[in-house]
Structures are given as structure tokens and as C-alpha cells.
Amino acid sequence: MKQHHFGAALTGSYLNTRGVLFWFLVILGVECDEETMTAVHQCLLLCLLSTLTAAAGRKNVLFIVADDLRTSLGCYGDPLVKSPNIDQLASKSQVFLNAYAQQAVCAPSRTSMLTSRRPDTTRLYDFKSYWRVHSGNYTTLPQHFKSHGYTTMSVGKVFHPGIASNHSDDYPYSWSIPAYHPASFRFENQKMCKGKDGDLHANLLCAVNVSEQPGGTLPDLESADEAVRLLKSRAVDGAPFFLAVGFHKPHIPFRIPQEYLSLYPLDKIILAPDPDVPKLLPPVAYNPWTDVRKRDDVQKLNVSFPYGRIPDDFQLRIRQHYYAAVSYMDAQVGRLLSTLDDLSLTDSTMVVFTSDHGWSLGEHGEWAKYSNFDVATRVPLIMFVPGVTTYHNWLWESTFPFIDVFSQSEQTIFGEGLVRNMVELVDVFPTVSYMSGLGAPEYCPDVSLQVELCTEGDNLARTFRYKERGKNPELIAFSQYPRPADTPQENSDLPDLKDIKVMGYSLRSWDYRYTLWLGFNPRDFQVNTSDVHGGELYMMEDDPGQDTNIYSDALHRMVMGKMESLPQVGFSLF
């Protein structure tokens, strides 16, 4: 009822503005006869009522997930990366500056985010089990929308393909139609990269002439095409939809259109500020980036295992290709957003943009993900909610015009919706559900293996209503990573469940990142809190790059005492 009275009051106020409208039309040079005034007035009224209805009712959802994307974006303050379309989205959205994945590897992170259950609940730490069989029949985010009458669709890499999603991307539970995967992806790890010798190689660095690739295309180009097609079909249909689009880049190999390299001249690229392995880093914490080592061009470098350093000139080229891959992916995001405008769907569609985890670019002497450091666990998280984060544009200008990165200005526009306190990817499910009009699931009980629908995350709706009052030390993000041994092994980055011997549990607060590497039994999923294999403590004010580990037994006891005074959320072992 309150909403109805608000709309009536606003409409009544609006109807008293014909005088203002008259002078506005005069300024625009429009002939102001009575018929024109009435037509424009009625059009504006309809737009207003449409905006109020869109804000009040259920919203469509466009859910975009990048692969291996750290916060290397203009809207996150990166001075080098060119990401104009994502930046434009951020300028009209709520931007969570400190969002963290629960495990820095694809399948566990995506399953955790899409079920809103932590890896210790899904019991998925590798790629080789399906949560509905291995753990519990947990409802997923798209399944929740499907159960409320939405048409749910998946394009590209949303769930991790293979065993982890039952070789079906969890169809038909999560999706109304079978998931779409781009045909050109089957070439992704084949010898497609032309070397200086003229032969094809399976390289890490793989900028290509797209016209010379099979089918004259690349996976993310195909996925964007399919997503645009589905959006057009939904606009005609008119039924509510949940469309998830997973782009493969900037995941390795960096098989991207070669023209994007021109955006990043090598003389403008710099090394990571901390390219060496920290002296006090416990060996169990180090990830030896085995998948990167397997690429043909990296093998030729003869880098010693596990701590050998990639030559500086090749490090610069890796960083160059990663940034170029981000810009290439940004262009595909821009295509989807501009399509919303073209189809008049922007005012009725919530847009979510995020990533499954980050990716180290030489920090701590590491590459890839597979760790608990910020560069591996911190992700972009951006939410556009029509009628909440922005309002209808009365001049009929496009909300998300496509921005060509090759002709854009250098300016990055920052919005006002910034959240600096810690949030997690398990918060995405309840927040998207609530902000779309479905309400948020209930919190999970302490033991929830038999509970199909509940959340282990927080509903972040409050952050859309109220501005932050400053740092909240009680808000903590939790991540974890498994290891097969105390020292780096060939399988340290991605051990099978049966081989896990140690689990690194990590807390990220405003003040510190604190990680304990504890004994873990993969047969009963039990953690031995007294079996400490290593510890890390980084004080963020003095050490934002997490390079100086000050962990000691005495500090451990002090931090544990402090944790006892905080609310019992996240990992009970802390």
C-alpha cells in the first residue's frame, strides 16, 4: 500500500510540471502546440509508471561470470587496464570492492557461489565429484529462479563442465533448456598458436588472427553471439528470464584476437611489485603453477621446479597478454549490455558481473590461482539493479552504449555505489534472489547436508539502502585451499580429494589476512585443529601486498583470542 501511495504522490507531482515541460521543449526547439505537449506528457508519464513498476516487481537477471579475472579493471582502480564497458556498468551499479571467492579454483568456487554453500559443505575441492551425489541435493541459484517461473538459460562456462556438474551443467535441475557451449572451445588447448618457426604450438601466449582460426571465431565471440540471440528471443517472449553467461577469458591460454595486444605496449608494462617468493612463506602455502609450466612456450624457458623465476621479459609478456584478454572479454560484456538497451530490457533486468576467483601475475613468485592470497581470492563483484542503483533516463539516452576500447577516452567514470567492507561469493545467491524480487533463502543450520534450500552467505540488500559508516571489523571473508603435502609437489595446485593432507583456512578482515594450514582427513572431511602445518599473518596497513609473514605461535594465540570475541560465522574452527 505504501508503494502505491508513493507512486500516486509522485505521479501527481509530476502532472503539475507542464510549465517546466513547455520550456524544456522550447529549449529543444520542438513546436509546442497542445497536441505535442499532450503526447510528450503522456509518454513521460508512461515511462515514469514503467520505472516504478520495474522497481517494484520481479526483475530479469543477466548473470555474467568471467574466468580467472582478478580486480584488474579500471573501476577497481587499475591504472593500466582498459575495461570501458565494465567500468560503465560499474558507474551505474553497486560495486563491492572487497569480494572474495571461497576457493581459488574453478569448479569448487563456482559450485560454492551457485549453491551458496562453502566448500566444506559441498565437499568439492577438486573437479571430480558432483555435489548432488557427493554431498547434498542443494538448490542452485538458477534452479531457485526456475522454480519461480523463470526461463533459465546458460551460455559458456557457468558451472564448471564435466563431472563437477554431472556432464550436463546441472541440466535439467538448473536450466530450462540445455546449456550452450561454443563449438570452438574444443580447440582451446590444441596447437593453435603460430610460433616464430611458423609451426603451431600449444602456447600460453597465443594472440591470433581470428580469421585463421577454425570457423573464423573464438569461444567468447560465439558465446556473446548466442547470448544476444537468447536475449532477443526473451524480448519477444516477454516471460521473466535468468540468463547466465560465462566468458572463458582471461583464463589461459591467452588465445585472443591479436589486435588487443596493441592496447598494451610492452614498454608500458611493469613487473609485479613483489616478484620474489616471500622468505617466510611456509612451503605448504606456495602454489607451483603447474598448468602454466605445461605450455610449450613456458617449457622452453627451463624454469626450475618449484621456485624458479620466469625471466623478466617473459613475465612482462604474460602480463601484457592477460590485460589484453581482459579488454577482449570487456568488449563481449559491452555487446550484451548494449543489447539490453536495444531491446528495451535495461529497466527490467538486474545485471550481475563477477568472476570465479583471481589470478596471480607474478606476485610472490607465483602465477595462476591455487592460493589464499588476495590476488587469487579477490574478485570483482558488480550489481546493477534498475530503479535502485540507477533510474530511468528521461532523455531516452542509452544506459549502456557499446564502448569501443580502441577509440575510448582514457577517463574512467566512478559511481557512488561503493562497498568497501568484506563480502563473499556465497553472498551472491541470497542477494540476487532478494534484489530480483524473490526474497532471500533462510540461513543454513549448523548441519545442512539434508537441507536443499538455504544460504551460508549474507543477503547484501542492506548495502543498497544504507551507506557504509566506515570499517566493520566483524565482517570477515573466508577462503580455503587444499594441499597434498607440506612442500610443493606436481599436484599441489589441484590435488584429488583422496590426496589432500592439509587444508589452508584463511580469514580476510580489514586489518589482516590470517591463514592456518591444518591437517585434513579426506575420508571423513575432518580437520585436526591441533595439527598445524604452517601459518601466515599479514597486517594490511603496513603490508597490503601480503609479503611479510609475521606469524608466530605467540601471535597465533593472540589472534585466536581475538576471534573468540567475534560472532560465530564462517568456519567454526576459528
Rounded to whole angstroms, how far apart are CA atoms 473 and 421? Answer: 8
- Burial of 400 from C-beta contacts in 10 A (0-12 / 13-18 / 19+): buried
Say how far apart CA 574 and CA 571 lie, in whole Å: 6
Instruction: Quote the CA–CA distance of 513 and 369 in Å, as a whole number.
Output: 17
Number of H helices, E strands in the chain: 16, 18
Element (H, E) at 478: strand 477-483
Active-site position among 75, 144, 160, 533: 160
- Cα–Cα distance, 281 to 285 (Å, whole number): 7
* CB distance 477 to 101 below 8 Å: no
β-pairing verdict for 378-384 and 349-355: antiparallel
Q: What secondary structure, in 3-state letters, does 359-428 show? A: CEECHHHCEECCCCCHHHHEEEEEEECECCCECCCCCCCCCCCCCCCCCCCCCCCCCCCEECCCEEHHHH
State yes or no: is 193 an active-site residue.
Answer: no
CA atoms of 112 and 444, how far apart (whole Å): 14
Nearest to 245 by CA among 361, 126, 355: 355
Asked whether the beta carbons of 10 and 48 are under 8 A apart, the reply is yes
Q: How far is CA 110 from the centre of its chain?
A: 10
Judge contact between 453 and 485, C-beta under 8 A: no
Tell me the torsion sign for CA atoms 317, 319, 320, 326.
positive
Cell digits for 317? 609478456
At 406, the amino acid letter reads: F
Residue 251 falls in the annotated catalytic set? no
Whether cis (ω within 30° of 0) applies to the bond prior to 441 is no
Neighbouring C-alpha atoms within 13 Å toward the C-beta of 255: 30
Angle between helices 34-56 and 18-28 (to 10 degrees): 110
3-state secondary structure of 517: strand
Catalytic residue from among 75, 106, 193, 444: 106
Distance CA 215, CA 422 (A): 44
Question: What sign has the CA pseudo-torsion 468, 330, 233, 143?
Answer: negative
Question: Which residue has 541435493 as its cell numbers?
Answer: 137
Strand partners, 360: 368
- Cβ(399)–Cβ(374) under 8 Å? no
Q: At residue 253, what is the residue type?
A: P
Please check whether residue 395 is in contact with residue 44, taking contact to mean a CB–CB distance below 8 angstroms: no
Catalytic residue ranges: 106, 160
